[in-house]
Amino acid sequence: MEENLKALLSESNGHPPFQSSRLLFQSSIQLLWSMKPTSILLNGCQIIIWLPLARLCSKILCPRRKELLKNKPMNKRYLIIGDFSTRLKFYQNAVEKTLAKNRSIIILVPDLSLIPYFTKHLKNESSIIHSGLTKTQRWLEWDKIRRGDIKIVIGSQSALFAPAVNLGLIIIDQEENETYKNDRSPRFHAVEVAQKLSDLTDANLILGSLVPKIETYYQATQGKFRILRKAITQKSNISIVDMNSEKYVISNTLEKEIEGALFNKKRTLLIFNRKGEGTKFSCADCGWMATCEKCGLPLVPQKNDNVCFHCEKTYLQPGACPKCQSIKLRPMGLGTIRLKKFVNDLFPKAKVIQVEKDIDGRLVRYDWDIAIMTIYGLKFSWPKIGLVGIIDADQGFNFPDFSSPQKSFQTLFKFLRIGERGIVQSHLPENYVIQALAGLNYEKFFLDEIVQRRKFGYPPYTHLVRLLFKSVDKEKILKETSRIYQSLITSHFPLTTISPPHACFIQKERGKYRWQIVIKSSKHISHFSSLISIIRSLPKGWIVDIDPVNLL
């Protein structure tokens, strides 16, 4: 068996069916993230690697790798912080240097619509890999890559698994983007996989971001990445408005600033991250509120419908309250549609538009004075805008999750960078996220956030494992989650805390209840073999997420 495997891994013929480092890579990924034998895409065909085989591979390959390392310089890792054009320039330079050494390159982007920006600036032909390709298309692309005909691979996270020959560079743009975490099994994170791949192939690794993830920046401060900070030269001209003493949704200050922008023929972006007429549809007499049958979450009123933004199911608005038969049913709270009406009334001469998913992106370029949008607006590339107003900067804090402050900061930071002037409306003006936004100061945010993460034991100070159980049967959930909890706490894992089973913030999904057990540990799960064996033996219905990006 061992001999056959060695022959299989031999790279003596020109185009080896399996590149040894690749095979080791695939098996390491499997060891790290997926607890069962999984079919993995390798050289365009699906094969199944079983764990014993994976172990055997590492046994054979490890001594060889040491040999290789003796002669090769160590790979380099960079974190480039800057806006898109700065990052692109740096990438371009690195790509050219790598091509000159006749080595290939993998570039990951969080959104396929960004690919043309890259291909436009790269002189060489590139192969585009994403999950939307058919099997045949993928096979054809992979074959070109495998033969070395194409040296640059661009795409979503699945591009990492492309059989690039003599890999010399991996670039991950917008490393903070959550789409890099695979939301299906194996639930790997592209950045971690890329680190592993760069170690095994000695390829350099570049992560790029305007607002890096806390974990990545922390690693960089510990020397794991060289930080290439392109100082943000633009002076921030941002004011915070304390909304506790304001009467209306648009504060006095913001109103005056919009007036000023209109007078100077400058445009205004207003950011409010809630679509629809309001936050809920409810009865004024008895307080009844429309909720989604499947998810249990409040429905958002939109024209004549109520929509669940979690599962996208649409319901017709009832004519009378199902509880007390009152006809006093109405949208409550604020949504972008209502905000638009409000802004129209306040500035009747201004041309106000709303930028949302269902509206053509080209509208952005048309003639308008004020644009109202949710975070969806970040998908467009905006020219410099006169004024950016954040209607409710505290919105993101409503999610009880360790990642909420970071997500809020990243989103609002990106919007505020577009404006020559910024207004941040908040009920928590002293909050550290809001304070750091006022100066567009990432470093300040990082130092405050890292203190919170340490205090409450979250990454990068701990490793998280989320065990999620879903079922339509509530009793089954209680029984099953407490059974697993008992087996976990009786095993005593050092430096590890295990939360008792509890309902997730998103309590229901597609008609199933969601409960979770969260394991926090100062060591990676791979150090606890007995914990791994408990996790491996979890029955159907359980989802294991190692290093989850949120716990909602």
Interface residues with Zn ion (CB under 5 A) are 283, 285-286, 288, 292, 294-295, 308, 310-311, 321, 323-324, 326
Nearer to Zn ion, 311 or 538 (CB): 311
**CB of 284 vs Zn ion, minimal distance in Å:** 8
- CA separation for the pair 74, 202 (Å, rounded): 6
Residue 48, classified by CB atoms within 10 Å of its CB into exposed (0-12), middle (13-18) or buried (19+), is: exposed
**CB of 480 vs Zn ion, minimal distance in Å:** 24
- CA separation for the pair 76, 203 (Å, rounded): 8
Residues across the chain:
552
Nearer to Zn ion, 183 or 360 (CB): 183
**CB of 515 vs Zn ion, minimal distance in Å:** 18
**CB of 316 vs Zn ion, minimal distance in Å:** 15
Q: 274 near 329, Cβ under 8 Å?
A: no
Nearer to Zn ion, 311 or 350 (CB): 311
**CB of 295 vs Zn ion, minimal distance in Å:** 3
Residue type (1 letter), 468: L
Pairing of strands 314-316, 305-307: antiparallel
Question: Which of 19, 167, 195 lies closest to 98, judged by CA?
Answer: 167
**What are the beta bridge partners of residue 497?**
520
**CB of 492 vs Zn ion, minimal distance in Å:** 40
Distance of CA 48 to the CA centre of its chain: 29
3-state secondary structure (DSSP) of residue 221 = helix
Is the dihedral angle over the CA atoms 162, 168, 174, 180 positive or is it negative? positive
Nearer to Zn ion, 287 or 500 (CB): 287
Cis peptide before 460 (omega within 30 of 0): yes
- CA dist 37 → 30, 462, 529 (Å): 8, 27, 17
Nearer to Zn ion, 85 or 325 (CB): 325
**CB of 513 vs Zn ion, minimal distance in Å:** 13
- CA separation for the pair 114, 204 (Å, rounded): 22
Taking the alpha carbons at both ends of the chain, their separation in whole angstroms is: 46
**CB of 305 vs Zn ion, minimal distance in Å:** 13
**What are the beta bridge partners of residue 509?**
512
Angle among Cα 191, 273, 438 to the nearest 5 degrees reads 75
Question: Which of 350, 356, 346 lies closest to 276, judged by CA?
Answer: 356
**CB of 321 vs Zn ion, minimal distance in Å:** 3
3-state secondary structure (DSSP) of residue 411 = helix
**CB of 506 vs Zn ion, minimal distance in Å:** 10
Nearer to Zn ion, 296 or 429 (CB): 296
Nearer to Zn ion, 10 or 326 (CB): 326
Nearer to Zn ion, 91 or 515 (CB): 515
Which residues lie below 8 Å from residue 372, measured CB to CB, with a gap of 6+? 270, 272, 336, 339, 340, 343, 352, 353, 354, 355
Nearer to Zn ion, 152 or 283 (CB): 283
**CB of 542 vs Zn ion, minimal distance in Å:** 22
Owner of token pair 């001469």:
349
Q: 160 near 106, Cβ under 8 Å?
A: yes
- CA separation for the pair 411, 420 (Å, rounded): 17
Nearer to Zn ion, 69 or 324 (CB): 324
Nearer to Zn ion, 79 or 290 (CB): 290
